[in-house]
A and B are shown apart, each in its own frame.
Chain A
Amino acid sequence: MFLKFSLHSMFYGAGGGNDIQWCFSQVKGAVDDDVAEADIISTVEFNHSGELLATGDKGGRVVIFQQEQENKIQSHSRGEYNVYSTFQSHEPEFDYLKSLEIEEKINKIRWLPQKNAAQFLLSTNDKTIKLWKISERDKRPEGYNLKEEDGRYRDPTTVTTLRVPVFRPMDLMVEASPRRIFANAHTYHINSISINSDYETYLSADDLRINLWHLEITDRSFNIVDIKPANMEELTEVITAAEFHPNSCNTFVYSSSKGTIRLCDMRASALCDRHSKLFEEPEDPSNRSFFSEIISSISDVKFSHSGRYMMTRDYLSVKIWDLNMENRPVETYQVHEYLRSKLCSLYENDCIFDKFECCWNGSDSVVMTGSYNNFFRMFDRNTKRDITLEASRENNKPRTVLKPRKVCASGKRKKDEISVDSLDFNKKILHTAWHPKENIIAVATTNNLYIFQDKVN
């Protein structure tokens, strides 16, 4: 019995490094093949406890799912996520001076840590950031004797008794209200927002500038990075992502279209144009090609939960950097190297411009990112094993274990392998999120959200 238990824990024990079997849990969204543009998911984010999962879409809507609280000891699977709140965060706007439409697409959502009964999140489109308060109402006062049934006030002279209203339970109502609107601070398109570990400030980054805001103050922000050249014709790189360090409230990083990451310390100066550290890997000359420059552009940067590492995603790979080593990443994982020879076609169909995101698991032992054909990839940093899985409605029986997928780069295609030419480049997974504490992942295809869990015996 003891031996069996220890063998069991060896294979299925907790912690990173052991092979997890991923199972389908849920899928949210329309079943139609005909995708409405407004329903295209543009961002996915778990909150700090993992109980809430928010998605933003191209139509400016935010949908929040809440995990059912189950009896953890008895349950064989973790709680399901059901719709908790839906609200229209941003509307399309028109900039009259520039004659440009401002898209309502939600670029990023970031949750604030919970301080009281209400939940707060920041959502942003290209130009405006909003702080939303999501609160529950499950009681209402009843028993007023000042009004008639239809709501009209009674004649005061007819009121002869004093009656104190009482709170009575009602159906749960979740209300979202915009508490702050941070507008007019960005000339270019906002690509990132990141909340500081002080929980008082946050940054927003566009192509050329990064601004620091206080959550309470909407009419001004500090510009902390400005890479706009005096002569725009000399522009060679733009900011592609930015994030605050999870523990040091003075430190943040931003990535560029040239494949570099700069770490800045806000204590050094008010304007952090001079980086404290510059992370850059020299280019491999054997990989140099016509499109080298654009595929080296970093589409996402994420600190590990520990704060010791950061991960970057460029078009073909995921790189893990140790903050103490600037000259090269400590780990590099190829996401879909078989696409390197197809870059010209990917340029033609615009896929080469796709911005993939990446994420860490709660213990920083596994990283995940998306690919094409609704495939997504996970890389275990300890075992150095990787896996490719598919988000598809074909595997939609709950607790069905996902079968690993394989792409055949060239030559003979084995059974169950997919050749590169059969990949559907319209089916891309750009946004993924990992529950902060458990092995639950949210994977967004074009207009559907898939939730997978590890197999719980």
Chain B
Amino acid sequence: MEVQKEAQRIMTLSVWKMYHSRMQRGGLRLHRSLQLSLVMRSARELYLSAKVEAHEPEVPLPPVRSPDPRLHQSREAEAVAEAAPPDGEQPSPEPMDTREAPPAEETPARCAPRPAKVSRKRRNSSLSDGGDVGLVPSKKARLEEEGEGASAEVPDRLQPPPAQAEGAFPNLARVLQRRFSGLLNCSPPAP
């Protein structure tokens, strides 16, 4: 539990740092963004493995991806953290099905897997719960909208990702959203 909390804290902190690195003079620094995304990935893996060990039914995934298109509206396509949904990209297997995401397939630059496709997978695997199959297509559609919206709408970037919070991963998503919104309104952490 402590490990989980710590991992969550680091993930949130990393997202916050990434957001604020855009505000500094000189713009987004590629090396810094890469380092932050590496830490975020490690925190996520740690969180997930701690979660799996705790045998929770839902495996929450940090929807880090969703804040990213909003955060990193920079035209600079080279921003590492920008995770615009690429077409035809393979979804990375999730620890729900496998113990650990195989690092080889997962590129470090992607902080989170593609929740849309992954959520569909997870939904399918738990259909016996009587889950809402109907949610799957609508969720995908919503993500696509967000994806398009993300690349077009600059002012929206400061909004927390409410839509993404619903769906398969309410717990962590809500926690992150709550924390993240709070952080956005807060002053920077003391150096």
- CB closest chain-B residue, reference A240: B31
- CB closest chain-B residue, reference A426: B191
Is there an interface contact between A257 and B34, defined as CB atoms closer than 8 Å?
yes
Is there an interface contact between A233 and B110, defined as CB atoms closer than 8 Å?
yes
Closest chain-A Cβ to B74's Cβ sits at a distance in Å of 7
Hey, which chain A residues are within 8 Å of B107, CB to CB? Answer: 233-236
Q: Is there a chain A Cβ closer than 8 Å to B77's Cβ?
A: yes
Q: A233-B107, A233-B110, A348-B13 are in contact. Are A208 and B30 (CB under 8 A)?
A: yes
* Assembly CA distance A188 to B39 (angstroms): 22
Closest chain-B Cβ to A124's Cβ sits at a distance in Å of 14
Interface size on B, residues (CB 8 A): 35
* Assembly CA distance A180 to B32 (angstroms): 31
Is there an interface contact between B76 and A236, defined as CB atoms closer than 8 Å?
no
Q: Is there a chain B Cβ closer than 8 Å to A276's Cβ?
A: no
Q: A189-B26, A426-B191 are in contact. Are A290 and B42 (CB under 8 A)?
A: yes
Hey, which chain B residues are within 8 Å of A103, CB to CB? Answer: 25-26
Is there an interface contact between A189 and B30, defined as CB atoms closer than 8 Å?
yes
Is there an interface contact between A353 and B32, defined as CB atoms closer than 8 Å?
yes
Interface string of A424-442 (1 = CB under 8 A from B): 0010000000000000000
Complex interface residues of chain A between 262 and 308 (CB less than 8 A to chain B) = 290-291, 293-294, 297
Closest chain-A Cβ to B103's Cβ sits at a distance in Å of 11
Q: Is there a chain A Cβ closer than 8 Å to B78's Cβ?
A: yes
Stretch at the interface among A94-102, A114-122, A145-153: A94-102
Q: Is there a chain A Cβ closer than 8 Å to B134's Cβ?
A: no
Specify the main secondary structure of chain B where it touches its partner: loop
Is there an interface contact between B83 and A100, defined as CB atoms closer than 8 Å?
no
Q: Is there a chain B Cβ closer than 8 Å to A238's Cβ?
A: yes
Hey, which chain B residues are within 8 Å of A207, CB to CB? Answer: 30-31
- CB closest chain-B residue, reference A125: B26
* Assembly CA distance A159 to B182 (angstroms): 82
Is there an interface contact between B26 and A126, defined as CB atoms closer than 8 Å?
yes
- CB closest chain-B residue, reference A126: B26
* Assembly CA distance A23 to B27 (angstroms): 41
- CB closest chain-A residue, reference B32: A353
Complex interface residues of chain B between 48 and 77 (CB less than 8 A to chain A) = 74-77
Hey, which chain A residues are within 8 Å of B30, CB to CB? Answer: 188-189, 207-208, 235, 238
Q: A232-B78, A235-B34, A257-B34 are in contact. Are A350 and B108 (CB under 8 A)?
A: no
Q: Is there a chain B Cβ closer than 8 Å to A49's Cβ?
A: no
Q: Is there a chain A Cβ closer than 8 Å to B86's Cβ?
A: yes
Hey, which chain B residues are within 8 Å of A228, CB to CB? Answer: 78
Complex interface residues of chain A between 169 and 195 (CB less than 8 A to chain B) = 187-189
Q: Is there a chain B Cβ closer than 8 Å to A349's Cβ?
A: yes
* Assembly CA distance A290 to B46 (angstroms): 9
- CB closest chain-A residue, reference B31: A238
Complex interface residues of chain A between 204 and 227 (CB less than 8 A to chain B) = 207-208
Q: A100-B27, A235-B107, A349-B190 are in contact. List 11 more A-B contacts (CB 8 A).
A: A101-B25, A207-B31, A232-B77, A233-B107, A236-B34, A236-B109, A238-B30, A240-B31, A291-B39, A293-B38, A347-B39
4 closest A-B pairs (Cβ-Cβ)? A100-B27, A103-B26, A207-B30, A294-B35
Q: Can you report 9 residue pairs joining A to B where beta carbons are below 8 Å apart?
A: A92-B25, A97-B75, A100-B27, A188-B30, A208-B78, A233-B86, A234-B109, A294-B38, A344-B10
